[in-house]
Amino acid sequence: MTKPMMDLRTLVEKSADADLLRKMIGFAAERLMELEVGANTA
């Protein structure tokens, strides 16, 4: 994992809203993958 990703993970784990942040990050990652796949297949 890259340093910025490790820093983000540490921040999320220390947050009171860690579960919400994990869901938001997961959703954003899924959308980015969908957009990349769409752009590569279009």
Cβ atoms of residues 16 and 26 within 8 Å = no
pLDDT of 1 strictly over 70: no
> What does the pLDDT read at residue 4?
78
| 19, 12 Cβ separation under 8 angstroms | no
C-alpha 28/C-alpha 34 separation (Å) is 10
- Residue 38 has a pLDDT of 78
pLDDT given at position 28: 94
Tens of pLDDT, residue by residue over 10-37, are 776 777 777 888 888 899 999 999 998 8
pLDDT band at 7 (very low <50, low <70, confident <90, very high): confident
Tell me the whole-structure pTM to 2 decimals. 0.52
